[in-house]
Structure 1
Amino acid sequence: MRRISLAFVCFLLLFTFCSQPERAPEEVRVRLAADPETLSPISYSSSGALQIINLLFQSLLSADLGTNEIKPFLASGMPTVERQDSLTLFTYTIRDEATWTNGTPVTAEDVAFTLKVAKAPLLNNEGLKPQLEFIQDIRMDRENPKRFTFVCAGYAPEMELLTGDFFILPAYLYDPENLLQHIAVATLSGDLSELENDEQLKAFAARFNAPDYGRDPNLLQGSGGYILENWKNGQYLTLTRKKEWWGNNTSNTQHLTANPQRVSFQVIPDMTTALLALKNRQLDVLESIPAAEFEQLKQNQSFLKDYALHAPDAYEFMYAGINSRLPKFADKRTRQAIAHLLDVNSVIKVTQQNYATPTVGLIPPSVTKFYNTSLQPYTFSPAKAAELLKAAGWQREEDGWYQNIHGKKERLSLVVDYRAGNTSFENAAIILQQNAAKIGIPVQAQGLEGSLMSQNSKQHQFEVFFRSLSGNPFAFNFKPLLHTTYAEVGGLNFTGFGTPESDRILDQISNTVTSEAEMAKLLKRLQEIMYTEAAFIPMYYEKERLAIHRRFANPKISGLKPNYDVSAFTLKEE
């Protein structure tokens, strides 16, 4: 039976690779775990989608994975900064060479249009809108159509990055009828209820929010070096290098690259199948290799002749989320008890083969200036968990823990959700299940399809979950994840975390911080509050594990997602 199953996997693999265009000499084949829900530069929701969008569109500023530094991409340089009382002005100039796919120049009008799409009501922009809420207006330079100034509320060191860290859309493609032209950026702060009745905005929203809008190759054309050539659902997405890309005509900008002739993203949901494709030399890049398999590959001399293995410190962390809105989890001591049953060290050993670092907060332990070293990760302690449950009002009976909640006797039990197919999350759920059983708490672990889990999280239809998040060492605006204003249905604060103090801290971080020392003080205090509240429980930061074919040079290995820059790959001379 096993031999038949393996033959079937090989057949599917062969069919997938044979059903796409002939492989180009400079083609790079990368595994993609799932089809993106959308490639909209405004409303994308996965790291896989982000990697693809980065090849199609550009932002004013971005990270150079070769140096882990922020550098100008669409912008000709870093912005000039001028502080005026309660406002801060950031002035940019777009590169003279920068053009869209049709050859027309990228201008300040495109930036203004993108701001409108990111800030207007009715549009699917929930993920980006909080990041840009501090930008109150944009001022155009009358003499230079490529020069503009962002008018921003308050000041924080991160604003320099945040003002440049969003994809710029071509207005001519996305709004050929100029439906948003009459809306001023300055009107998109504060109460937007009147705009919700704007007929032109509603017409634009109906089109922009349509699922096809994030899948149409005719719209997915930005200022990046690639265009979408083919997208076969469940099989592959292929990007082709533009014949005449403006980035080839710049000097002293080694971070602007579009080297491979074609980049093909192979949709292979199952990691076992992906590893087989890698070993058969049908993939050039495979990331997120399970730790056990990564260790095996390190011992495979035949494989190592063709592939280089890399394990950079990543900025992706795993966390446990507890729905603090539910009455049985309302007392933080109950949540703390669950934290003492997670056994992070065992999870790291079992799921990561120790390719991970425990953490007490969202800040990577490697970012020592902001990480709160006075806190220690929750230790595995059933005794401490039982003590906390008693303090929270739970009483131990023969078959479990009980408490009177709203006049009804309730038994403490947990339903733990995780994304189906993710063995790390599955093992973490099993470890929690086994640990909780030791003190009489039944745990049901259930794997859910990714989109269903995302939907349930946004609708607050969960008890406990395991998820991961990607961060970076440049920005620490956690307001969309942790502020109570984003704890409503549909918001990104899934757990309902938040206190008046944490809200004040998040507001200060996003608006008024004036120094690194002040930022450090606020972030460390935020970590203390999160640690005590135990609704959003960071567990560990991962080391990425990836393989790249040795025929390519200049991979730019980095801790930043996706941990390499495929656009920079060059073929080695034979």
Structure 2
Amino acid sequence: MTNYFRTFRPATPLAWLLPVAVSLGLLGGAAQASAAPAADKPRPGGTLTTIIQPEPVILTSALNSAAPTGFFSANVFDGLIEYDNDFKLRPALAERWEISKDSKTLTFHLRPNVKWHDGKPFTSADVKWTLENVWKKLHPRNQILFGKVTQVDTPDALTVVLRFSEPSLAVLSSLNSNGAQVLPRHLYEGTDILDNPYNNKPVGTGPFVFKEWSKGNYIVLERNPNYWDKGKPYLDKIIFKVIPDASARAAALEKGEAQYAPFNPVPLKDAQRLAQLPSLKLETRGYDWLSPWLFMDVNVDRPYFKDVRVRQALAHAIDLNALNKVVWFGFGKPAVSPVVSTLGQFFNGNVPRYPYDPARAEALLDAAGLKRGADGNRLKVQIDYLPYGDDYKRSAEYIRQALKRVGVDVTVRTQDTPTYTRRVYGDRDFDLAVVWFAGFADPLVGVTRAYRADTVGKNIPWSNGSGYRGDEANKLIDQAQGSPSQAERVELFKKFQSVVQSDLPSVPLLELRFFTVQSAQLRDTVSGVDQVYASLKHAWFAVPPGGSATVATAGKADAAR
């Protein structure tokens, strides 16, 4: 399995960000931090205050794949496996695993003596129940990923055997806590899963135990003293602080009130200044597994967007290079396809393209019968943006200005995350929507969910928002899911990209380049390519906040604050 999984490794991981970082001076703080002598070994103790923005809607990634939930919940839950910094699989809840020669049987051998945070034993029954009741029925990515599982056998408490009707090779790329989070059967079985109170006071097997959620303020986790990975975690406590204002987040990091913040937490224009401070550093690792891309969903159920020429006109009207430079300060790359270019084996650079060409956009709108009126407008629509920060709002405002030039009058609409997801994925009460998805290491895991017809209007966040129901595209997805040949899957996905870029239900905008801002005294925050969706069990302070290295011992770190 390990050798197979390495075929998913993106081409030249992180190489894309180095020129950007150098040109903006973003490595200054990191370089200064690296000049300081490193401690010989991890020091236990201390409280880490991290920024989580926006506040999660739910605390369990098994039921909601939003980024804030994923960032938080991996500290409470373990996956069956973990990933290292080279995309290799390493044991977690599963000590080892085997796949049959026909790729239709996957067997996990679970770690013994693992306990849920309430003291109950973790067993194969938990995995079986979660797969059958959550992954296959409720999870926006796993419904297709585990859709070909016809039977789950549990011959004993520590063995789980998955039997597939067809090979599902992409499963190998999504077995961590974010991709395949296991829930405690004894707390969920027989309940309304989506309304279970433990969704917001989670009980996991992970390195940290949930203690408190003060909504609108903070979430507190404390060290799990009975964690199976002996000696970890090093930190005594993690406080996830909710700070909606971007300038306030920058100030909290600069003052040392927070020591860790992922997903471009500060205004991009402030990143260079903060990176130069000796107390902070920018960390660009830990996002490789995500393969994130920014795109604009077009509601194809709207009469004026049913015509592909109108959708093509929207694409031609947006200057992606300018969007990247003006809005994202170079922390991106114009997108060609919904599959990002760093996924080298899957990426198709020969898809239909829509270069910036306002004249072409106007001609297409004329041909579609949308003539300019007396006020100069052809069409009035609304655009909703993912409420994850100013970058997304400014993206919507940039698109508004771009479309105005070709006679499309756009109103930018603001709302909270629950309203946004219900509007786009449930009620479908929108025209255009700006959002980002993680494509992950295999298109079947993260990309195809944006195009599958069977999720339209089912209020499944981060699925098919455009309402696209392309028969050919869905056929290609199904074929790729069941193919036992990786070479065949690659060709099917390349054809899929050509089809969806011809139909254009969604307009790819940018391949995103995220960064984390953290204290220069915080060590080992990155242990794998999926770090932002993995736990901080390896993290430790060389010098704790408000204290000295000599007091950073277990049980005393809080007193040093």
Taking the TM superposition and a 5 Å limit, the aligned residue runs for 1:318-337 are: 318-337=294-313
* RMSD (Å), alpha carbons: 2.5
- 2:148 corresponds to: 134
The aligned amino acid for 1:465 is A
1:497 matched to 2:517? The reply is no
CA-CA distance at 1:509 after TM superposition: 1.9
Taking the TM superposition and a 5 Å limit, the aligned residue runs for 1:442-481 are: 442-458=409-425, 459-474=427-442, 476-477=444-445, 478-481=447-450
**Which protein has greater RCO, CA pairs closer than 8 Å, 6+ apart?**
2
The aligned amino acid for 1:131 is L
Residue of 263, 271, 278 corresponding to 2:238 = 263
1:89 matched to 2:105? The reply is yes
Provide closer, same or farther for how the CA distance between residues 461 and 485 of structure 1 changes in structure 2, counting only shifts above 3 A: same
1:46 matched to 2:66? The reply is yes
Residue of 294, 297, 312 corresponding to 2:274 = 297
CA-CA distance at 1:79 after TM superposition: 2.8
Instruction: Name the SS for the 1:297 alignment partner.
Output: helix
Residue of 99, 108, 112 corresponding to 2:128 = 112
Instruction: Name the SS for the 2:297 alignment partner.
Output: strand
Residue of 238, 242, 246 corresponding to 2:224 = 242
**CA distance, structure 1, for counterparts of residue 117 and residue 247 of structure 2:** 38
* Offset from partner CA, 1:216-254 (integer Å, 9 cap, x none): 3xxx221111111222111111111111212218xxxxx
Taking the TM superposition and a 5 Å limit, the aligned residue runs for 1:333-344 are: 333-344=309-320
- 2:321 corresponds to: 345
Taking the TM superposition and a 5 Å limit, the aligned residue runs for 1:220-231 are: 220-231=202-213
Q: Contact 2:213 / 2:220 at 8 angstroms: preserved in 1?
A: yes
Q: Contact 2:74 / 2:535 at 8 angstroms: preserved in 1?
A: no
Taking the TM superposition and a 5 Å limit, the aligned residue runs for 1:10-409 are: 25-64=45-84, 66-83=85-102, 88-118=104-134, 125=139, 128-141=142-155, 144-162=156-174, 165-175=179-189, 179=190, 204-205=191-192, 208-210=193-195, 212-216=197-201, 220-248=202-230, 257-287=232-262, 288=264, 289-298=266-275, 300=276, 303=277, 305-312=278-285, 315-375=291-351, 377-400=353-376
Between 155-164 and 482-491, report the one with greater CA deviation: 155-164
CA-CA distance at 1:565 after TM superposition: 5.1
Provide closer, same or farther for how the CA distance between residues 35 and 423 of structure 1 changes in structure 2, counting only shifts above 3 A: closer
Provide closer, same or farther for how the CA distance between residues 367 and 162 of structure 1 changes in structure 2, counting only shifts above 3 A: closer
**CA distance, structure 2, for counterparts of residue 484 and residue 335 of structure 1:** 19
Provide closer, same or farther for how the CA distance between residues 433 and 246 of structure 1 changes in structure 2, counting only shifts above 3 A: closer
Residue identity over aligned pairs, in percent, reads: 19
CA-CA distance at 1:114 after TM superposition: 1.5
Instruction: Name the SS for the 2:169 alignment partner.
Output: coil
Between 436-445 and 88-97, report the one with greater CA deviation: 436-445
Residue of 500, 503, 506 corresponding to 2:477 = 506
Provide closer, same or farther for how the CA distance between residues 561 and 382 of structure 1 changes in structure 2, counting only shifts above 3 A: farther
**CA distance, structure 1, for counterparts of residue 527 and residue 272 of structure 2:** 19
Provide closer, same or farther for how the CA distance between residues 331 and 543 of structure 1 changes in structure 2, counting only shifts above 3 A: same
The aligned amino acid for 1:533 is D
**Highest CA radius of gyration, 1 or 2?**
1
1:539 matched to 2:509? The reply is yes
The aligned amino acid for 2:410 is V
**CA distance, structure 2, for counterparts of residue 94 and residue 559 of structure 1:** 23
Q: Alignment length, in residue pairs?
A: 490
CA-CA distance at 1:326 after TM superposition: 0.8
Q: Contact 1:497 / 1:535 at 8 angstroms: preserved in 2?
A: yes
CA-CA distance at 1:395 after TM superposition: 3.2
CA-CA distance at 1:381 after TM superposition: 1.1
Between 280-289 and 332-341, report the one with greater CA deviation: 280-289
Between 418-427 and 324-333, report the one with greater CA deviation: 418-427
**CA distance, structure 1, for counterparts of residue 91 and residue 527 of structure 2:** 20
**CA distance, structure 2, for counterparts of residue 147 and residue 415 of structure 1:** 52
Provide closer, same or farther for how the CA distance between residues 294 and 380 of structure 1 changes in structure 2, counting only shifts above 3 A: same
1:488 matched to 2:457? The reply is yes
Between 364-373 and 512-521, report the one with greater CA deviation: 512-521
Q: Contact 1:413 / 1:442 at 8 angstroms: preserved in 2?
A: yes
Q: Contact 1:400 / 1:412 at 8 angstroms: preserved in 2?
A: no
**CA distance, structure 2, for counterparts of residue 439 and residue 245 of structure 1:** 59
Q: Contact 1:57 / 1:224 at 8 angstroms: preserved in 2?
A: yes
**CA distance, structure 2, for counterparts of residue 426 and residue 173 of structure 1:** 39
CA-CA distance at 1:262 after TM superposition: 1.0
The aligned amino acid for 2:507 is I
**CA distance, structure 2, for counterparts of residue 53 and residue 454 of structure 1:** 20
The aligned amino acid for 1:116 is E
- 1:525 corresponds to: 495
TM-score normalised over the length of structure 1:
0.79
**CA distance, structure 2, for counterparts of residue 539 and residue 70 of structure 1:** 32
Instruction: Name the SS for the 1:268 alignment partner.
Output: coil
Q: Contact 2:294 / 2:509 at 8 angstroms: preserved in 1?
A: yes
Q: Contact 1:231 / 1:237 at 8 angstroms: preserved in 2?
A: yes
Provide closer, same or farther for how the CA distance between residues 261 and 67 of structure 1 changes in structure 2, counting only shifts above 3 A: farther
CA-CA distance at 1:559 after TM superposition: 5.7
Provide closer, same or farther for how the CA distance between residues 475 and 336 of structure 1 changes in structure 2, counting only shifts above 3 A: closer
- Unaligned 5+ segments in structure 1 are 1-23, 180-203, 250-256, 402-410
Instruction: Name the SS for the 2:441 alignment partner.
Output: coil
The aligned amino acid for 1:482 is Y
The aligned amino acid for 2:272 is E
Q: Contact 2:337 / 2:349 at 8 angstroms: preserved in 1?
A: no
Instruction: Name the SS for the 1:248 alignment partner.
Output: coil
